[in-house]
């Protein structure tokens, strides 16, 4: 269920007119996703995706939308937000902030092979480089300050063993973030949520990255770690898959080799990536949004991934 707000055909026609995107052919709600209202919007000029933002504010959105536009124009296959006659890319539909982007070809590859992991590695590095001259700044809103704020909120809901691990890992990540190696990590706009369900493929061809609404300025290494933690693990156990990880790392480094500080901190950032999603899943699970009809993601998955990352550090 990802239609929180119903959009009528009349509103869709009016929006297409404002964006000069032709006449409405079809408006269809999209079921996937848990954050926003999404529709496939087809006109006589093409296929688009209409998103109504349910949580993000009009102040936060320009960073994501202009980043997508910047990357799309820099040759990275990401949805390109469409402007109205005034050049605005943030619209209002049913009283909510909204965007219209082109629909990407393909579908998600939920059982990736080495070839898919390599394609993600190559495109991730290209995206990092293409983001270097993006001038807007917004931090990763799910970064260390949010972890420090949110861990005390979830601790009362979890058991002793989980609580000990969560507190110890948070302390470790605060220590890492204060180190000179961390200060030396290259930073820029990152996707920060590039899981299997946020990438499109047609066969072995990667046709796009999407869902940029957790993006922010953070270390490139954190972005790579988030990808390795989803694309290159065995989902049932959370164990590292060395073959797929090597394909992703090699492909990434063929475009942008890791620096010495990045090589040193890869094991720590793999732990950080697991911690970030363990915390957000615990938060969604124990403190669900009011009126949400959604099944939250399983938090124990990222507890398992974190335990693996602590017990078996992976080096580049
Ligand atoms: N630009 C696009 N092109 C093609 N399909 C898209 C596009 N944007 C979204 N979709 C489809 O809509 C579904 C939901 O989108 P998305 O993942 O962005 O949802 P969300 O609720 O915003 O985020 P989340 O994944 O965080 O729950 C996707 O799984 C995909 O099938
Ligand atoms: N990728 C996140 C969901 C938010 O997009 C998760 O799996 O917890």
284 lines ligand 1 (CB under 6 A): no
Query: What contacts 192, CB < 8 A, 6 or more positions away?
Result: 140, 142, 214, 215, 216, 218, 222, 223, 226
Q: Which of 79, 102, 125 is the last residue of a domain?
A: 102
Residue 160, pLDDT above cutoff 60: yes
> Is residue 243 located within the same domain as residue 303?
yes
**pLDDT at position 288, please?**
75
Q: Which residues line ligand 2 (CB under 6 A)?
A: 193, 195, 277, 280-281, 297
Question: How far, in Å, is the centroid of ligand 1 from the Cα of 154?
Answer: 28
Angle at 270 between CA 33 and CA 195, to 5 degrees: 20
Residue 152 lies in a domain: yes
State the average pLDDT over residues 115-143.
Answer: 98
Supply the range of the domain harboring residue 237. 114-311
Give the Cα separation of 77 and 207 in Å (integer). Answer: 6
CATH of the domain at 288: 3.90.1200.10
Contact 298, 215 (CB under 8 A): no
**pLDDT at position 294, please?**
63
Q: Strand, helix or coil at 105?
A: coil
Give the Cα separation of 316 and 249 in Å (integer). Answer: 7
- Global ipTM: 0.93
> Is residue 258 located within the same domain as residue 155?
yes
Which ligand has the minimum distance to the alpha carbon of residue 294?
Answer: 1
Q: Which of 27-41, 128-142, 165-179, 230-244 has the lowest mean pLDDT?
A: 27-41
**pLDDT at position 194, please?**
98
Determine the residue of 214, 278, 304 to mutate for testing ligand 2's pocket, defined as the one with the most ligand atoms within 8 A of the Cβ atom: 214
Report the sign of the C-alpha dihedral through residues 276, 278, 279, 281, in that order.
positive
Q: Which of 102, 126, 154 is the last residue of a domain?
A: 102
> Is residue 49 located within the same domain as residue 126?
no
Question: How far, in Å, is the centroid of ligand 2 from the Cα of 193?
Answer: 7
pLDDT in tens, 258-310: 999 999 999 999 999 999 999 999 999 998 765 445 678 999 999 999 999 99
Question: How far, in Å, is the centroid of ligand 2 from the Cα of 246?
Answer: 23
> Is residue 200 located within the same domain as residue 263?
yes
Residue 108 lies in a domain: no
Give the Cα separation of 99 and 82 in Å (integer). Answer: 7
> Is residue 17 located within the same domain as residue 49?
yes
Query: Ligand 2, closest atom to CA 193?
Result: 1
Give the Cα separation of 78 and 89 in Å (integer). Answer: 15
Strands (E) across 124-238 are located at 187-190, 199-202, 205-209, 216-219, 233-234
2 lines ligand 1 (CB under 6 A): yes
Query: Ligand 2, closest atom to CA 281?
Result: 8
294 lines ligand 1 (CB under 6 A): no
Record the tokens describing residue 228, joined without a space. 């390795």
Residue 2 lies in a domain: no
Q: Torsion angle of alpha carbons 94, 95, 101, 107, nearest 10°? A: -60
**pLDDT at position 32, please?**
72
**pLDDT at position 291, please?**
45
**pLDDT at position 2, please?**
66
Residue 107 lies in a domain: no
Look at ligand 2, atom 4, and give the residue with the nearest C-alpha: 193
State the average pLDDT over residues 133-157.
Answer: 97
- Residue 98: beta bridge partners? 52, 91
Query: Ligand 1, closest atom to CA 197?
Result: 29
Angle at 278 between CA 276 and CA 282, to 5 degrees: 120
Look at ligand 1, atom 13, and give the residue with the nearest C-alpha: 32
Look at ligand 1, atom 20, and give the residue with the nearest C-alpha: 33
> Is residue 238 located within the same domain as residue 131?
yes
Residue 201 lies in a domain: yes
Residue 14 lies in a domain: yes
> Is residue 268 located within the same domain as residue 153?
yes
> Is residue 138 located within the same domain as residue 271?
yes
> Is residue 176 located within the same domain as residue 27?
no
Residue 109 lies in a domain: no
CATH of the domain at 26: 3.30.200.20
| CB atoms inside a 10 Å sphere around CB 23 | 10
Query: What contacts 37, CB < 8 A, 6 or more positions away?
Result: 2, 3, 4, 5, 7, 29, 51, 52, 54, 96
Question: How far, in Å, is the centroid of ligand 2 from the Cα of 197?
Answer: 9
Task: Quote the number of domains for the chain.
Answer: 2
Question: How far, in Å, is the centroid of ligand 2 from the Cα of 289?
Answer: 15
> Is residue 126 located within the same domain as residue 176?
yes
Residue 131 lies in a domain: yes
Give the Cα separation of 202 and 239 in Å (integer). Answer: 27
> Is residue 144 located within the same domain as residue 244?
yes
State the average pLDDT over residues 118-125.
Answer: 98
Which ligand has the minimum distance to the alpha carbon of residue 108?
Answer: 1
Q: Which of 102, 133, 150 is the last residue of a domain?
A: 102
Residue 1, pLDDT above cutoff 50: no
> Is residue 124 located within the same domain as residue 88?
no
């Amino acid at each position: 269920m990802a239609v929180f707000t119903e959009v009528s055909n009349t509103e869709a026609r009016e929006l297409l007119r404002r964006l000069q995107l032709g006449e409405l052919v079809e408006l269809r709600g999209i079921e996937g996703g848990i954050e926003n209202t999404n529709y496939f919007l087809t006109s006589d000029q093409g296929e688009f995706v209409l998103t109504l933002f349910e949580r993000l504010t009009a102040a936060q959105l320009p960073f994501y939308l202009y980043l997508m536009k910047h990357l799309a124009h820099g040759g990275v296959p990401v949805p390109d937000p469409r402007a109205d006659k005034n050049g605005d890319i943030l619209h209002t539909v049913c009283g909510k902030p909204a965007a219209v982007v082109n629909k990407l070809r393909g579908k998600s590859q939920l059982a990736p092979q080495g070839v898919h992991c390599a394609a993600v590695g190559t495109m991730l590095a290209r995206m990092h480089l293409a983001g270097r001259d993006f001038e807007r700044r917004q931090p990763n809103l799910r970064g260390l300050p949010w972890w420090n704020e949110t861990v005390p909120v979830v601790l009362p809901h979890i058991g002793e063993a989980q609580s000990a691990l969560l507190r110890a890992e948070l302390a470790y990540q605060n220590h890492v973030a204060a180190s000179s190696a961390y200060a030396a990590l290259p930073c820029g706009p990152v996707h920060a949520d590039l899981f299997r369900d946020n990438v499109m493929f047609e066969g072995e061809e990667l046709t796009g990255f999407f869902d940029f609404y957790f993006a922010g300025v953070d270390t490139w290494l954190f972005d790579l770690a988030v990808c390795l933690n989803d694309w290159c693990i065995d989902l049932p156990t959370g164990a590292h898959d060395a073959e797929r990880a090597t394909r992703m790392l090699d492909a990434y480094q063929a475009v942008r080799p890791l620096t010495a500080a990045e090589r040193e901190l890869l094991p720590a950032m793999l732990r950080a990536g697991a911690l970030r999603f363990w915390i957000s899943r615990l938060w969604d699970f124990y403190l669900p949004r009011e009126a949400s009809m959604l099944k939250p993601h399983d938090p124990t998955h990222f507890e398992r991934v974190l335990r693996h990352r602590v017990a078996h550090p992976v080096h580049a």
